[in-house]
Amino acid sequence: MTSPYDVLTRIRSNRRAPEPAGERCEMCSESIAEEHQHVVNLAGRQLMCVCRACYLLFTDSNAELRYRAVPDRYLAFPDSALDRRAWEALQIPVGVAFFFTNSTLGRTVAFYPGPAGATESELDLDLWEAIRAADSRVGLLADDVEALLVRVPEDEFAQPQSYLVPIDACYEFVGRLRLLWRGFDGGQQARAFIDDFFSQIAARAVETPR
């Protein structure tokens, strides 16, 4: 004769194990993989983790939407108009920064990494417009979702390295660097991370001449 205890044991043994709690789409709550896509909330300047279906809703760059899908393209700009002389004129206190157009503000903004994360730098808009006019590739950047990521090597004879990258790559870079930052200049571990990050960018980017 089957007892209630036997029935309960059988039910428990046949019950499916719960799915592990992972990341979920911030729009529809569907489960998403660790490697997923992002959209930018234009009003709040926030990156949102989304599933593929939600991502595709916001890929039309000409539509007037509250959200914008972050593309996945990487371009290298050799011989950029943003050379050492222009960099010094911008007065950015460190050797790395990223620039993007904030459509809500209607202007280009500049941020650089540090121990506090992404710090905005006052950008000389006249100088930036001169750089933009001298190098038409700057106009390829999609507002809000792509950035010009620039690194100035410590070697004073080396020219700055300029790449068009997705904006989420910039924030990932800044966030990870903040965790490694030690002392005034970041320390050896932070410098090694910067070297590795830019090596990966260079390997991935498609060279785009003037």
Q: What is the mean pLDDT of residues 1-14?
A: 46
Residue 209's SS3 state is coil
Which pairing describes strands 206-207 and 75-76: parallel, antiparallel, or unpaired?
parallel
Local confidence band at 8 (pLDDT 50, 70, 90 cut-offs)? very low
Range from 15-19, 47-51, 115-119 carrying the lowest mean pLDDT: 15-19
Distant-in-sequence, close-in-space partners of 173: CB < 8 Å, separation ≥ 6: 113, 149, 197
pLDDT at 145 over 90: yes
Closest CA to 176 of 168, 185, 166, 165: 168
Check residue 117 and give its pLDDT: 86
pTM given for the model: 0.85
* 60-113 tens-digit pLDDT: 888 888 999 999 999 999 999 999 999 999 999 999 999 999 999 999 999 999
Query: What pLDDT does 67 receive?
Result: 94
- State yes or no: pLDDT of 6 exceeds 70: no
The residues, ordered by sequence, that sit 6+ positions from 32 with a Cβ below 8 Å of its Cβ are: 22, 23, 24, 25, 49, 50, 51
